[in-house]
A and B are shown apart, each in its own frame.
Chain A
Amino acid sequence: MWKLFQIEVYKIFRKPRTYLAFAIITGFIFLIQLGLLVNGKEFLGFMLGTVNDMMEFNAKDILNGYWVCFAILNLLLIHVPILVALVAGDIVSGEAAMGTLRLMAIKPVSRAAIILAKFFASAVYVFLLLLWIAFISLFVSLLVFGSNNLMVAKVDDLRIIETGDILWRYCCAFGFAFIAMMVVAALALLLSTVSKNSIGPIVATVGIVILCTLISEMEIPLYQKYIRPYLFTSYMLGWKGFFYINYNEDNETIRGSIENLPAILKSIGALLAYIVLFVTASVMIFKRKDILS
């Protein structure tokens, strides 16, 4: 199993498309950073809305590395799953298309081990991708924009988190994002096991993520009540919960607190359940699959 896993990791990092994902994300984050460096005050003015009329503040202080990282992660909501699907969607079907899947299946290893090795290999890719995102969006932003308190904008309030209380939240958020992205990887793996070419699972995964995200975000009671709780995308935004700092009756934030930790834990639980569901289904399908290519 370990050897199989190593081979799968090797295969992923031999493909140019893997590095393409890193290049795309780097370019994308760089463009956001450049945009915020040049026109950040205007963007901030929009985010603050009526606060501009009531309060005085130094926009330069708000526009710091922590805030830029938060803005980047907010904007990457749809894009990272696409990059995950790009690799995980190809992991089985790519080999089916090349004809190497049959060769692999005739080796003295179980089919379950093959699928699990592929899943864990894609986990390495997702982990490294998120690590890279964390490095360029957080540490590079901190170098360029400096450090200060973090302002988190919600629909009807603004929350300020003190400098010393931010970094652990990012660590937890990236940890959560890893679980969320692994759901996408597991879904792509599932679709990959039933397909004979790479394009189908990649496009289908992206399509499902986009569709589910739209339904999750639509404020339509029918969807909110009956469909939303069953969509994995409804739980993927849970990383933000780490930045929803709790406050007392005087609207004073409480250092080190999280407003609703049970909701985050519930989201983690739901996402893990989806991973188990998709991977189990992938193993079951692959075990019974008649490999003809």
Chain B
Amino acid sequence: MKTKIIALLSAILLLPVLLAAQDVKQLVEKVKAKLDKVSDYQASGKMKTNVTFLKVPIANITMYYKKPNKMKIKSEKGFSFIPKGAVNINMSNSLSSGKYSVLDAGTDNINGTVVKVVKLLPEDDNADVVLSTLYIDETNLVIRKAKTTTRENGSYELEMSYGKYTEFGLPDKIVFSFNTKDYKLPKGVTFDFDDGTAKKTEDKAKNKKGRAEISISSYTVNKGVDDTVFQ
């Protein structure tokens, strides 16, 4: 009798937790279903890279995506440095495997929008992604923010703003933040001209966070993308 009472109490106490887990799993499934509507896309936009050791102009880029996880960012003119891990800016990549445990981590507020915080733990022990935290806008069923920790490519964060392509779950603006390392070359290799501006660079070198801001002007969705662009 005593055991039955304990079991009943435990069930009553765990019920909200289990229901919540079920809710977030359904929420993630809904977001995934929305993203699954896109088989491929080609997007045009501009990329602004802000890394301490990298002084680059704003690049006109074209992003290509094809299911299940092909992603390529190409600079239209010249060349660009694309942060490693930026291939995961397509959230469909993170959710495509479906092999993960979903945990409810409460709610948060992003720019006035209440979002559901969901943690994804991959079931595959060898997966590169160790943990993903998604901030899901339940009303529009889109991911507003994502934090990802990987084994090989460090941690990175994505912030997304939506507009014209919300129905496909595709953002208009993506801000990709990532960790950077120091960059240093021996003076005997570069033979720098000492013009007295070294201090300016030295002061700025303290910032170890890199940032890539992608503003997308247009998407061409589900019109087919040739495999050769990913090579």
Contact = CB atoms under 8 A, between A and B. Distances in A.
Interface of A: 47, 49-51, 53-58, 61-62, 74, 77, 148-149, 153-160, 162-163, 217, 219, 234, 237-241, 244-245, 247, 250-253, 255, 259-260, 263-264, 267
Given A157-B54, A160-B55, A259 B83 contact: no
A244 B80 contact: no
Interface in B44-63: 48-58
A260 B53 contact: no
Given A62-B79, A252-B50, A153 B193 contact: no
A272 to B, nearest CB: 17
B39 interface: no
A247 to B, nearest CB: 4
Most buried by A among B56, B80, B202: B56
A148 B78 CA distance: 5
B81 interface: yes
Instruction: Summarize A's interface: helix, strand, loop or mixed.
Output: mixed
A148 B79 contact: yes
Most buried by A among B180, B191, B198, B205: B191
Contact of A217 (B51, B191, B197): B191
29 contacts: A51-B81, A51-B183, A54-B84, A54-B178, A54-B180, A56-B84, A57-B80, A57-B82, A74-B190, A149-B78, A155-B190, A155-B192, A157-B52, A157-B54, A157-B55, A157-B201, A159-B55, A160-B54, A160-B55, A162-B57, A217-B187, A217-B188, A217-B191, A237-B191, A239-B193, A241-B193, A245-B55, A252-B55, A259-B195
Given A156-B185, A251-B51, A259-B195, 6 more contacts: A51-B183, A162-B57, A162-B77, A163-B77, A260-B197, A267-B193
A156 B205 contact: yes
Nearest to A165: B57
B182 interface: yes
Most buried by B among A77, A219, A259: A259
A57 B79 contact: yes
Interface string B60-89: 000000000000000001111111101000
Given A49-B184, A53-B181, A244 B79 contact: no
Contacts of B51: 54, 251
A232 B133 CA distance: 59
A260 B55 contact: no
